[in-house]
């Protein structure tokens, strides 16, 4: 039995839960609650937000499992990020193109996970939204990030797969020796 782990990171409402729903073999376990912060409440338009974590997985017959953990977006839960990052293969950081804060903080999150020595790629979400900033603007905001940046639609399974495979390829290429597994 071999267990790999990938983290889905990003600010509140960046699309992490939706990402996991698209690719998981089973209905993800989510721990969503109504936001308590007034700003979060506005962002989520009254919908539940993840305060603990999301969890999904992809299984292969030979006893191989890829676990997908969505981290809580709120910064005050950053100690959960660190806990979850242990044994992870890499991180997909989702940046919400409709949220200025998400764009502004992306480089900090990249730096955070880079410091944990985890391969990381960036996915830009919600570009299909009428509230999305122009792609040119988004890319300009993310210009300091040297990692792979890919626009994609979290509701499109094929695009989700591409993002996930991109990260896994990066893991394969960037890892010397054998790849670590989840403890």
Partner 1 sequence: MGNFNTNNFSILIKLQDSKESINILLGQKAVMHLSEGLIKKIDGNMSDTLHAILSRDTDIIVVSEAGTTQAPANLVETKDTENTLSFTMAHYLSLLTPAILSNINTDNLSLSFKDKLNYREYAYYLMHTDVMVSPILYQWLENKFKEAPAISISFSELVTQLYHLSHSADKDILLKTILILAGLGFININFNMQKNIAAPSPSVQIAEKTESTNVSSLPDKLSVALNIGDNFANGIYDMVLHCDNEYYNLNLTNIQDRAIAEIILKNILSSTNFISIQNTQTAKLDAQSALGIRLKLYAQIKKLPLELFENRFDGENYYYTFSIKDQNYLSNLPIYRTSGMDIIDITLLSLLRIKNYSLGDISIKISSHTLSEIRRAIFGLILLGLITAKREKAGPNIEVAFAEQQPTAAGTESNKSLLQKLMDKIKVK
Residue with tokens 């996915």: 123
Q: How many CB atoms lie within 10 A of CB 47?
A: 11
Please report, in angstroms and rounded to a whole number, the separation of the first and last CA atoms in the chain.
11
Residues 77-106 that bind partner 1 (CB under 8 A): 77, 79-80, 83-84, 86, 89
Answer whether 14's CB lies under 8 Å from 94's CB: yes
CB of 181 to partner 1, least distance (A): 6
Residue 170 lies near partner 1 (rule: CB under 8 A): no
Answer whether 123's CB lies under 8 Å from 150's CB: yes
Residue 46 lies near partner 1 (rule: CB under 8 A): no
CB of 174 to partner 1, least distance (A): 12
Q: What angle do CA 5, 102, 170 make, to 5 degrees?
A: 35
Contact residue for partner 1 among 111, 134, 172, 174 (CB under 8 A): 172
Q: CA-CA distance, 99 to 41, in Å (whole number)? A: 14
Residue 36 lies near partner 1 (rule: CB under 8 A): yes
Residues lying near partner 1 in the complex (CB under 8 A): 1-2, 4, 23, 26, 29, 31, 33-38, 41, 51-53, 55, 57-60, 62-67, 74, 76-77, 79-80, 83-84, 86, 89, 161, 164-165, 168-169, 171-172, 175, 178-181
């Amino acid at each position: 039995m071999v267990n790999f782990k990938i983290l889905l990171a990003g600010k509140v409402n960046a699309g992490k839960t939706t990402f996991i729903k698209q690719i998981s073999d089973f209905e993800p376990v989510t721990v969503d609650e109504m936001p308590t912060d007034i700003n979060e409440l506005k962002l989520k338009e009254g919908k539940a937000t993840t305060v603990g974590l999301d969890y999904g997985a992809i299984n292969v017959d030979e006893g191989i499992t890829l676990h997908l953990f969505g981290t809580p977006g709120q910064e005050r839960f950053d100690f959960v990020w660190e806990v979850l990052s242990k044994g992870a293969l890499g991180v997909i950081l989702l940046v919400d193109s409709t949220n200025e804060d998400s764009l502004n903080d992306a480089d900090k999150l990249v730096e955070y996970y880079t410091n944990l020595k985890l391969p990381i790629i960036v996915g830009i979400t919600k570009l299909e939204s009428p509230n999305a900033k122009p792609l040119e603007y988004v890319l300009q905001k993310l210009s300091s990030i040297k990692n792979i940046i890919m626009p994609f639609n979290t509701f499109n399974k094929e695009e989700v797969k591409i993002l996930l495979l991109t990260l896994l390829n990066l893991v394969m290429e960037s890892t010397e020796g054998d790849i670590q597994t989840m403890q």
